[in-house]
Structure formats: C-alpha cells, structure tokens
Amino acid sequence: MTLPGRNEEEANMNMYLVRHAEAKSDQEDPLRPLSAKGREDITRVATYLSQLNIPVSKIFHSAKLRATQTAEILFEHLKPGRGVSEADGLSPLDDPAIWAERLRDMPDGVILVGHLPHLARLTSLLLCGATDKNIVSFMMAGIVCLRRDDTGLWSLQWMLTPDMVIGEKGTRYACDGL
C-alpha cells in the first residue's frame, strides 16, 4: 500500500543523517568551528560517499558553525542539485517531530546535518515511534542511511563512520561496532 497521494517511487525515500564533525572546544574558540581532525574526518567520509554515487538532492544543516562547515564539505564532494541550506529544527534540543513531519514531503536523497541528542531522537522516532529509544550511536562525522518504504515505514539501511573509511595514506581503520 502506497502513501496517499503519492506513487510508489515518490513514497520510497533514502534519507541521510550526519552528525557534525569534531569541533574545537569552547576554550579554543567560542564559535566552535571544526577542528583539523574534524575537517579530515568529514572530508574522508564525503570523498568515500562521492565514489558511491549516492543520489543527494539537498543538504540541510543547523545554524551552528560546526554543522554549517560539515554541510559545506559534504556539498563540495556530493554536489546536490538543490544545494545546501540552513534549516530550523536541527539544533541539539529541537523537537524531532518537526523533521519527522517535514520528511513526509521531502524528495529522495536529503541529508540532515545536526547534533545530538536531536539526531538520535529523530532516528528513534522514525524507526520506533518514540524518541526515548537509543537505536543508533552517532559518531562525529558519521552518516546513517534510513529508508522509507511505500507504506511510510522507516528502516535502517547502513551506517558509515570515519574510522571505517580507508584514509588518504592507505590506512585502514577498524570498525568497532555499529
């Protein structure tokens, strides 16, 4: 059964949730831009994703500098057709129901760049119908792919962290679990 008012192709959707990359501490810089490690991690993940030819239509990010910079690096590598933009409802303590509702009318291939606990609560809401379940442990610069089927149900498809991607110098990083 397809969602009302949509054909099967429109109802199926992949959505990607990205936790911002590592930022400098408040003591180093109160604006909390990405650290050198954070830039390296998200660049490694974005480079790997670009090689997979994942269709990305648009990237949304919170107003916080670390999320903006993470989204900009993803944009440089993935080149979504509808661009990148700041959006409300993606801050750490925002209500995940805001984006759960918005996603009903979103095109396939949307990336949301945000923060904990918001991303964890949104994932729990989409997968379990409740925000208080700890379903996914988001790592900085990690990406989680969720898929909505034609009935409107969401499922976890895959997860990628910087440590799972081969580094520039050919270093293979180990996965210690999802």
Higher pLDDT, residue 54 or 32: 32
Average pLDDT, the chain: 89
pLDDT of residue 34: 98
Give the three-state DSSP class for 52: coil
Give the domain range for residue 34: 8-164
Other Cβ atoms closer than 10 A to 43? 19
Q: How many domains does the chain have?
A: 1
* Strand order across the beta sheet in which 13-19 lies: 84-86, 58-61, 110-114, 13-19, 143-148, 154-160
Asked if residue 97 is part of any domain, the answer here is yes
CATH number of domain containing 134: 3.40.50.1240
Give the pLDDT band (50/70/90) at residue 169.
low
Asked if residue 154 is part of any domain, the answer here is yes
Give the pLDDT band (50/70/90) at residue 11.
low
Asked if residue 133 is part of any domain, the answer here is yes
- Measure the CA dihedral 160/166/167/172, to 10°: 110
Partnered with residue 62 across adjacent β-strands are none
> What span, in angstroms and rounded, lies between the C-alpha atoms of 146 and 106?
13
Consecutive H or E run containing 112: strand 110-114
Share of the chain above pLDDT 90, in %: 79
Phi, psi of 159 (to 5 degrees): -140, 145
Asked if residue 40 is part of any domain, the answer here is yes
pLDDT of residue 58: 97
Give the model confidence (pLDDT) of 142-166 as tens digits: 999 999 998 999 999 999 999 999 7
Asked if residue 147 is part of any domain, the answer here is yes
Asked if residue 39 is part of any domain, the answer here is yes
Give the pLDDT band (50/70/90) at residue 168.
low
Give the pLDDT band (50/70/90) at residue 177.
very low
Asked if residue 173 is part of any domain, the answer here is no
Give the model confidence (pLDDT) of 64-122 as tens digits: 999 999 999 999 999 999 999 999 999 999 999 999 999 988 878 999 999 999 999 99
Query: Is pLDDT at 176 greater than 50 in this prediction?
Result: no
Asked if residue 177 is part of any domain, the answer here is no
pLDDT of residue 167: 63
| Alpha-carbon distances of 165 from 41, 105, 123, 141, rounded to whole Å | 9, 32, 23, 11
